[in-house]
Structure 1
Amino acid sequence: MKKKFHIILVLAMISMAQLSSGQAKLEFDGQLSLYGNYNPDSDLDVLLGGRYLPELNLKLPLKNSKAFDFQAAANIYGAYITHPFDSSWSDGNIKAYRAWGRYTTEQFELRVGLQKIDFGTAMLLRPLQWFDEIDPRDPLKFTNGVYAALARYYFLNNANIWIWGLYGNENPRGFELIPSQEKIPEFGGRVQYPIPRGEIAFTYHHRNADASDFSQLGLVEEIPENKFGIDGKWDVEVGLWFEAAYTQKTIDVGLLTHQTYTTLGTDYTFGLGNGLNVVVEHLVGALDEEAFEFSYITNATAAILSYPLTMYDNISIINSYSWDMQAYSFFLNYEHQFKNFTGYIMAYYNPDIQQKTIENNFENTFTGPGLRLMLVYNH
């Protein structure tokens, strides 16, 4: 069903472009990334891979500032992991990356299909990472999309309201530990409102978690879940923001019944040389059988230091520390802009964490120290 939807969307884009060739604007672009990774602590210590994201965009202007937009993009990836002259493993696939259509007016938009939805004020430790998989260490900000219908209305005072419905999504996102019921709709909304020197927002989402894989723990297969979020930011002498989320499962599942996460953050650019930007965030999380008991608490701190060496060179460092697990991670990224592409040299250290699949996330999820080279071409 999903494949049929993607094919129909692409054919509709081409047909509409042909029917309205005098007005329609059809563009093709894409991003190619090639990378190599060396991780001496891994049994398979050498990784070579690539990803291509071809993208087709169609814009069809209408009268009175109205328009239709369509986007179709694929995720073509492959990787080869090896311990030279010993053992190896490879993987690759072609999947839909984006496939949506949108109707817009001066103050309203409705977007339907496979799309990216993200919001919130936090940059590193994100309680409101409900629909995306963006890794803050990934300079390309890669994330799989969700199948959704999203409507947004923008008021003249810069306030805006979002309403969404999701269907056909099952993978856990953000801090979720249990996947979603793929065939049960999810729904929610968000209101953002300007306040003096900043803005504040309130968010809600409802889904049904699929606990069928946890049946051995005595959990029922379907668990209704409500999420509530609030975030705000201010631009004073420094940048200040907070982001908080509370998740309530309507069935008792022990410590997973109630989850609370709150992040406080700040940033400032020091007048050193070309300007040293520093971002610091601290997250406090809690898992509880009863709401707001704070019986099992976690703390984490993360920071970014970014410095532009020249117009074409930038260096950044991301550090994070889990206080309860006493786990430290380090990530250094040097970026250089060439004429037609961008190069990255990355060095990192990760504590013992669960590896994620090549297809889903930034490949810097190996444990221990490592070195990574990446070359990116956008057309």
Structure 2
Amino acid sequence: MNDEKLVWTGARYIPQLNYKIQKKKNLIDFEASANINGALNFFNFDSLSADANLKLYRFWARYSGEQIELRLGLQKINFGSASMLRPLMWFDQVDPRDPLQLTDGVWALLGRYYFLNNANLWLWVLYPSDKPKTWELIKSNGSFPEFGGRFQQPLKKGEIAISFHQRIADSRENAFELPIFDEILENRIGIDGKWDIGVGLWFEVAYIHKNKDLQLATNQLLANIGADYTFGLGNGLHVMVEQLAVTTGRKRIDLANGFAFSGLTISYPFSMFDNLNAIIYYDWSSRNTYNFISFQHKFNKIDMHLMGWWNPKQYLIPNQTVSGNMFAGKGFQLMLVYNH
């Protein structure tokens, strides 16, 4: 329910099928799942609308050896060190406030090689999506595959990584009145690292460049720094903070065009079965605060989540537009999750 007198009730079912074949040190496994959901919406208690949706959620096959892994199909690909405001959220839309951590997958071939020193190399090829992915303002050109990779290197008390992705973008259909091009070469590079030195520290930086003049969308620079610590209060009070800064423009770094967000997460476990969590975002441009609080209780096979939020009606948190439809304004939600 939210402050516009909208009462929403719904159900979601995600059936999942797994199968595996083990031969000595080699494994072949498969996963298929669907996202089935329906909802009833009551507006001002005098009108009713209904909605239902069925779509494929995951559908992949994987080969795993001693140091190599290959996975083909509709899958989740995510990486990076940040948790709330993620410059490297290139292929997923996970919202830290979502108890189910749901996100659509991408059709891809992903390969990973694990070195003996715990370094690892990722390589991927993506089927181009007909809709913009996270941090993308325009869709991909369906005639060209996307590709990229990532290398992670362990360090003392941490790790550092570099990521790369290339695609051919298409601005012929866009919602931002950008110049029209059918083939736009876009390169993006990301660097991230994290360390545990008593206090957890991390950073993420991503730079996205297009070879056509798309005005403010030509270049994007995104930078995040964060830290977390568990205080020895009671069962342990966990506090996490992150700061995100974004610039866009024709210049590679254009400080005149950008925005900044801060994020704060506080969580406290009352027991093994009860947890209280609060997430706060602050928009430095509009001076708006986004507030979210949730309480979780675990039963034998059921998880109960009681959530409340108090946010601006105009929802501007970057790359959380799907969840923003729910969390805009003021409201609360009771969610029951049954696992079988």
Q: TM-score, normalised by structure 1?
A: 0.85
Cα distance in structure 2, aligned partners of 1:258 and 1:168: 21
CA–CA separation in structure 1 for the residues paired with 2:3 and 2:174: 35
Q: Which runs of 5+ in 2 are unaligned?
A: none
Matched, 1:332 2:276: no
Residue 365 of structure 1 aligns to a residue in which SS? helix
Q: 1:325: Cα distance to partner? A: 1.8
Asked if 1:101 corresponds to 2:61, the answer is yes
1:1-379 maps to which residues of 2 (within 5 A)?
Answer: 38-41=1-4, 45-63=6-24, 65-83=25-43, 85-214=45-174, 217-353=178-314, 361-362=322-323, 365-379=326-340
Contact conserved, 2:304 with 2:336, CA < 8 A, in 1? yes
The 3-state SS of whatever aligns with 1:130 is coil
Q: Is the 8 A contact 1:212 1:220 kept in 2?
A: yes
Deviations 1:127-151 (A, max 9, x none): 0000001011101100010000000
Cα distance in 1 for residues equivalent to 2:87 and 2:80: 8
Number of residue pairs matched by the alignment? 336
Q: In 2 relative to 1, CA 354–219 (structure 1 residues): closer, same or farther, beyond 3 Å?
A: farther
Match in the other structure for 1:4? none
- Is the 1:353–1:365 Cα contact (8 Å) retained in structure 2? no
Distance apart, 1:84 and its partner CA = 5.4
In the TM superposition, what whole-angstrom CA distance separates every residue of 1:185-240 from its partner, at most 9, and x where no partner exists?
00000000011110000000011222122395432133221110000000002000
- Answer yes or no: is the 8 Å Cα contact 1:75–1:94 preserved in 2: yes
User: For 2:291 and 2:306, how far apart are their aligned partners in 1?
Assistant: 14
- 2:333 and 2:196 map into 1 onto residues whose CA distance is 35
What CA distance in whole angstroms lies between the structure 2 residues aligned with 1:355 and 1:260? 18
In structure 1, list runs of 5 or more residues that go unmatched.
Answer: 1-37
Please say if residues 284 and 300 of structure 1, whose CA atoms lie closer than 8 Å, have aligned partners that are also in contact.
Answer: yes
- Does the CA-based 8 Å contact 2:123-2:150 persist in structure 1? yes
Query: TM-score under structure 2 normalisation?
Result: 0.95
Cα deviation per residue 1:146-192 (whole Å; 9 max; x = unaligned)?
A: 00000000001110000000014222222222122234200000000
Distance in 2 (CA, whole Å) between partners of 1:249 and 1:352 is 33
* Identical counterparts, % of pairs: 48
Structural RMSD (CA)? 1.8
Q: Comparing both chains, which one has the higher relative contact order based on Cα–Cα distances under 8 Å and sequence gaps of 6 or more?
A: 1
Structure 2 letter corresponding to 1:151 = G
The Cα shift of 1:265 comes to: 0.2
Stretch of structure 1 that moved more, 170-179 or 211-220: 211-220
How far off its partner does 1:352 sit? 3.0
> Do the aligned residues in 1 keep the contact of 2:226 with 2:243 (CA within 8 Å)?
yes
Structure 1 window deviating more from structure 2 (80-89 vs 368-377): it is: 80-89
Runs of 4 or more, structure 1, over 4 Å off, are none
What amino acid is aligned across from residue 149 of structure 1 in structure 2? L
Quick one: distance in 2 between partners of 1:338 and 1:199? 37
SS at match of 1:332: strand
Distance 1:89 1:376 in 2: 24
